[in-house]
Amino acid sequence: MPKPPIDPVRWQPPGSRPLPPPDPTPALTIVEIPGTAAEDVVVAADGTIWTGVEDGRIISVDPAGGAPRVITDTGGRPLGLAFTRDHRLLICDSHRGLLRYDPGTGQMETLVSEVAGKPLTFCSNAVESSDGTIYFTESTNRFHYEHYKGSVIEARGSGSLLRRDPDGSVSVLAAGLHFANGVTLTADESAVVFAESTGRRLSTYWLSGPRRGSITPLVEELPGHPDNISTGRDGRIWVAMVSDRNALSDWLSPRAPVLRRLLWRLTPYRWLPDPAPVVWVVAFDPEDGRVLTQFRAEHRDFGLVTGVVEADGRLWMGRIAGPGLAYFRL
C-alpha cells in the first residue's frame, strides 16, 4: 500500500520522569489464537476474553482453556473494544469507524463513520457510561492504522476525544491530541481518563463536579508510550505501555520538517522507527496518578503490549506485531 504524504511540524516531545521500580513479575502464560496483532482485550459477562486481530476477525477466548472461537468479522481493522451495559460489543475499526456488534443477533451496525463531515480515520478506543453515552478516541485524523508511523514522524497533534450521545449526536470534547489512544471511565463515572501515546501522558476529562467539562493532567512525562487502558476492580487505571520512548523520533520531532519528509519518502515503511518489544503494564491511582503496581519484563515470545484488562485474578494483555494473547496471575 503506497504511503500517504505527510506534513510534519516542529514539536518538542515531553520530558521523561522515571517510574518507581517494578514489582516482581509473575510468570507469563501465552494463549494462542487464530490471528495476529490482537490489539485490545476485554472481558465479557460470561468471563470469556474477546479480542480483534488484524485481518478483521473478532475472537473469543475461554479462560478455562477451551478452543478460541471466531465470532464475527468487521471487514476492516478492529482496534479498541468495549462491552456495553446490554452486553453488545463496541468496536473501534480504523477503516470503518465506531461499530457495535450484537452477539445475540449477529448484527453489526455502524454508529459513527464521520465527524463533522470528515471520515473517522483511526477510531482507537471506546467506553460506554451507564446512561448509554459513548466516549471514544481518534488517534489521528490523517492516517489509517497501516500507516500509524506517519503520525509519529509528522508530530502533528491530530487526535481527538469524542462523545456519542444516546440520540446519536457526536461532539468533539478535545482536539489537537498527540495520538489519542486508550479511554476508560473512573469507577464512579465522575470522569473519563484517556491516554496520548506520543504525548506520553494520561489526562482526566471531568463529567461532574466543579471541574465538569475541563481537562486536568493525571500523569505526565511518562518514560514510555501508553496505549489502551482499562479500569480495574478497585478503581485503578491499568495502562498498557507499548514501548519505551524512541530516541530517534524524539530527536527528529523538533527539527526541520524537511528531514522527516525525506525520511518518509525515501525509507521503506518497515524500516522506519519501530517500538522496542517489552511486556509492560502499570496501574495508576485515578485520583492522584500514583503508581500502584507495575510489571515490566522481556519475553522472547511476547511484547509490545497494547491492551490490558483485569479479569478473575488475571491480567490479560493484547499486543501488536505478533501472535497470541498473554496473562499474569495477580
Judge contact between 325 and 316, C-beta under 8 A: yes
Task: Tell me, yes or no, whether 309 lies in a domain.
Answer: yes
Task: Tell me, yes or no, whether 6 lies in a domain.
Answer: no
What mean pLDDT is reported for the chain? 96
Burial of 28 (0-12, 13-18, 19+ CB in 10 A): middle
pLDDT category of residue 325 using cuts at 50, 70 and 90: very high
What does the DSSP assignment read for 153-203? HHT---EEEEEE-TTS-EEEEEEEESSEEEEEE-TTSSEEEEEETTTTEEE
pLDDT category of residue 274 using cuts at 50, 70 and 90: confident
**pLDDT mean over 31-58:** 97
Whether residue 176 is predicted with pLDDT greater than 80 in this model: the reply is yes
Q: What is the CATH number of the domain that holds 67?
A: 2.120.10.30
* pLDDT, position 275: 85
Rounded to a whole number of angstroms, the distance between the first and last alpha carbons of the chain is 42
Burial of 316 (0-12, 13-18, 19+ CB in 10 A): buried
57-100 confidence digits (pLDDT tens) = 999 999 998 899 999 999 999 999 999 999 999 999 999 999 99
Distance of alpha carbon 233 from alpha carbon 230, whole angstroms: 10
Whether residue 9 is predicted with pLDDT greater than 90 in this model: the reply is yes
Of 111, 189, 181, nearest to 145 by C-alpha is 181
Distance of alpha carbon 286 from alpha carbon 307, whole angstroms: 18
Task: Tell me, yes or no, whether 306 lies in a domain.
Answer: yes
236-255 confidence digits (pLDDT tens) = 999 999 999 989 899 999 99
Q: In what order do the strands lie in the sheet with 323-329?
A: 29-36, 323-329, 314-319, 305-311
Whether residue 278 is predicted with pLDDT greater than 80 in this model: the reply is yes
Burial of 1 (0-12, 13-18, 19+ CB in 10 A): exposed
Bin 196: left if φ > 0, else alpha if -120 < ψ < 50, else beta.
beta
Task: Tell me, yes or no, whether 5 lies in a domain.
Answer: no
* Sign of the CA dihedral with 257 first, then 261, 262, and 268 last: positive
Whether residue 273 is predicted with pLDDT greater than 90 in this model: the reply is no
24-39 confidence digits (pLDDT tens) = 999 999 999 999 999 9
DSSP letter for 146, please.
G
53: CB partners within 8 A, 6+ apart: 33, 34, 35, 36, 37, 38, 39, 59, 78
* pLDDT, position 276: 84
**pLDDT mean over 191-199:** 98
Task: Tell me, yes or no, whether 19 lies in a domain.
Answer: no
Domain that holds residue 54: 28-329
- All cell numbers assigned to 290: 500514583
Task: Tell me, yes or no, whether 325 lies in a domain.
Answer: yes
155-175 confidence digits (pLDDT tens) = 999 999 999 999 999 999 999
- Number of structural domains, the chain? 1
Of 51, 97, 50, 105, nearest to 76 by C-alpha is 97
Task: Tell me, yes or no, whether 85 lies in a domain.
Answer: yes
Distance of alpha carbon 58 from alpha carbon 35, whole angstroms: 10
104-154 confidence digits (pLDDT tens) = 999 999 999 999 999 999 999 999 999 999 999 999 999 999 999 999 999
Distance of alpha carbon 307 from alpha carbon 290, whole angstroms: 20
pLDDT category of residue 219 using cuts at 50, 70 and 90: very high
DSSP letter for 139, please.
S
Distance of alpha carbon 146 from alpha carbon 321, whole angstroms: 11
* pLDDT, position 256: 96
Task: Tell me, yes or no, whether 8 lies in a domain.
Answer: no
